[in-house]
Amino acid sequence: MARIVIIGGSGHVGSYLVPRLVELGHEVVNVSRGTAVPYRPHFAWSAIETVAIDRAAEEKTGRFGTKIAELRPEIVIDMISFDLPSAQQLVEALRGKVEHYLFCSSIWVYGRFFTVPSTEADPPNPIDTYGMNKAAIEAWLLRQARLAGFPATCFRPGHIVGEGWNPINPIGNANPAVFSLIARGDELVLPNLGLETVHHVHADDVAQWIIRAIENRAASIGEAFNTVSEQAVTLRGYAETVYRWFCKEPRIAFKPFDEWIRDLEGEDAVGSRGHVIRSSCHSIEKSRQRLGYKPRYTSFEAIQESVRALIAAGKVAVPDAGFPGKAR
């Protein structure tokens, strides 16, 4: 078993990953700013070491990488590196001191696609700063792995979902009010013909993927992997499925994209635009063949679990009783 340091381990993926690692017998150190609370309670949180470090503040002093190295990790899982200088400072401090470094990237290293599902053989073509930064970190890490022997692996989660997390909804943003609208049986307007796609992944399946990469170190080092569910879903198929969860007949209208996006505001418009213009749809064949990755949740199963939790928390209103998935 290994001593594993998780940077940002109190987040959504970490809430599933930490218990899995503890149950496997690993020695786990969770590094966070000290403000985050795990999404799900578990005895494992009392069995780990928690270290409070403000990454941004320590990076300004040039000490963050050194502080992580001083924790004597054999494996480092970095969930919260968002620009190249941040990753470089950490890696330089860990050279020759760790057996494996796993970097959480994003499917947003991809922009628009030429073929679907996209595979890791397709070159990154990010279209926003977030994706560009993740792609730059990936490229540098993979070069370090292949030319300098640094044991880096990159993984690209899709739209992470699960209990305690607002799922990307059928119009491509994270506003739970869309599920309340559907629960009432009101009309939902989709862009174009509603054939754009989103690709979710349950946080527990991301945790499963990380463990499989650790257990198949030789097959994962120097590589990047898509980390999503088995299949993407179309916006129309997604919307119709959710209507039926709430025992409603689908009421769906369509508008051309440019007209449709003008009806949205603020963060909803930004989120919807980003997801719709990308239309994410990714293959997991590389992860399946090299690592034995097999998602436990389909996209719809993961989303349904999340929506049930939103109902229980009062964030989605169900006017005529019943949880999603209730038979008609």
Amino acid in the structure at residue 173:
N
Distance from C-alpha of 311 to C-alpha of 180, rounded to nearest angstrom = 9
- DSSP letter (8 states) at residue 90: H
| Domain count across the chain | 1
Model pTM score: 0.95
Residue 77 lies in a domain: yes
Q: What is the pLDDT of residue 112?
A: 85
In a 3-state reduction of DSSP, which class is residue 159?
strand
Residues above pLDDT 70, as percent of the chain: 96
Tokens matching residue 170: 């059928």
Residue 305 lies in a domain: no
For residue range 316-325, list pLDDT tens digits in order.
999 875 666 6
Residue 243 lies in a domain: no
Residue 313 lies in a domain: no
For residue range 127-183, list pLDDT tens digits in order.
999 999 999 999 999 999 999 999 999 999 999 999 888 999 999 999 999 999 999
Q: What is the pLDDT of residue 328?
A: 36
CATH code assigned at 62: 3.40.50.720
Kindly report the backbone phi and psi dihedral angles of residue 208, in degrees, each rounded to the nearest multiple of 5, phi listed first: -60, -45
Residue 320 lies in a domain: no
Q: What is the pLDDT of residue 46?
A: 87
Residue 328 lies in a domain: no
For residue range 99-130, list pLDDT tens digits in order.
999 999 999 999 988 899 999 999 999 999 99
**327: pLDDT strictly greater than 50:** no
Q: What is the pLDDT of residue 35?
A: 61
Question: What residues make up the domain containing 81?
Answer: 3-160+200-227
Q: What is the pLDDT of residue 41?
A: 73
Kindly report the backbone phi and psi dihedral angles of residue 114, in degrees, each rounded to the nearest multiple of 5, phi listed first: -105, -30
Q: Which residues contact 190 (CB under 8 A, 6 or more apart)?
A: 170, 171, 235, 236, 239, 252, 253, 254, 255, 260
Residue 270 lies in a domain: no
Q: How far from each other are the two terminal CA atoms of the chain, in whole angstroms?
A: 49
**231: pLDDT strictly greater than 70:** yes
Residue 51 lies in a domain: yes
Nearest to 160 by CA among 125, 194, 209: 209
For residue range 234-278, list pLDDT tens digits in order.
999 999 999 999 999 999 999 999 999 999 999 999 999 999 999
Q: What is the mean pLDDT of residues 207-213?
A: 98
